[in-house]
Amino acid sequence: MRPLVHPELIYAMRADGIQAPQERGLWSIRRAGLSEWPILEAFVGGLYAYADYPELPMVTTSLCRWTEATLHEGQGECVMSDDPRELRKHLPIVLAARGRVLVTGLGLGCVVRGLLARPQVEHVDVVELDDDVSTMVWPTFVGNPRVTLHRGDALTYTWPAGTRWDFAWHDIWNETPDTQVIHAQLLERYRAKAAQQGAWGFPRWMKRRWPWPLLYARRVSA
């Protein structure tokens, strides 16, 4: 068996504590176990890296949204899930962050949970535009003094003068092909406010050529 890759963080990042199923507006959260497809359990368990974490229940929580492209499928598009394969793609961000951290885009809250599991992270500011996503996901963080939710658009949100972060991570989902344009705009807007930044899936050629220092450009790959 291969050695486990930071199992404590993989377990911490899971969305098991979120109520499922639930639905608000165009968004829904659902939970499914591989036991529903026993014939495929071994194959799917290996594909999604459950086989590498034998103590982890083979249950996946997914955040989905209805889009024009998925209306005919009857379940919407899966925007994010908490299977081990997906969570491992976010490990570099969780391991690199220090001090005060900005996260734009809440999703299932997996990155935020991973950050809060790290004593090196002092506080996490989360900006989420969609009230339906916040309503479904944020209750699992209520009462934790190390994390604050800011409802609004990260591109226009007004921060108190002098606000800065040691690390900023941008992971915005968009139904249109403009996702990376939005990430580029976020990187530009927070260039002077964050010591290091990164963005999900940002094209490598841009990472190499953009003039300001991006932690994601040098040290992490997702």
Q: Where are the domains of the chain?
A: 7-82, 87-219
Q: Is the pLDDT of residue 162 over 80?
A: yes
Other Cβ atoms closer than 10 A to 98: 15
**pTM score of the predicted model:** 0.85
Closest CA to 212 of 222, 193, 49: 193
Q: Hey, CA dihedral for 157, 158, 163, 164, is it positive or negative?
A: positive
* Residues 200-209 pLDDT 10s: 876 554 444 4
What would the two tokens of residue 39 be? 């014939």
Mean pLDDT of the chain: 85
Would you state the pLDDT for residue 209? Answer: 43
- Residues 171/107, Cβ–Cβ less than 8 Å: yes
* Residues 118-144 pLDDT 10s: 999 999 999 999 999 999 999 999 999
DSSP tag of 35 = G
Question: For residue 40, with 0-12 CB atoms within 10 Å meaning exposed, 13-18 middle and 19 or more buried, which class applies?
Answer: exposed
Question: For residue 14, with 0-12 CB atoms within 10 Å meaning exposed, 13-18 middle and 19 or more buried, which class applies?
Answer: buried
DSSP tag of 205 = H
Closest CA to 82 of 20, 35, 169: 20
Percent share of the chain, pLDDT over 70:
80
* Domain 87-219: CATH superfamily, name plus number: Vaccinia Virus protein VP39 (3.40.50.150)
Q: Which residue has the tokens 């086989």?
A: 51
Would you state the pLDDT for residue 200? Answer: 85
Q: What is the rounded distance in angstroms from the CA atom of residue 116 to the CA atom of residue 8?
A: 12
Q: What is the rounded distance in angstroms from the CA atom of residue 92 to the CA atom of residue 118?
A: 13
Q: Is the pLDDT of residue 213 over 70?
A: no
Q: What amino acid occupies position 198?
A: G
What are the C-alpha distances in Å from 130 to residues 29, 157, 206?
14, 13, 28
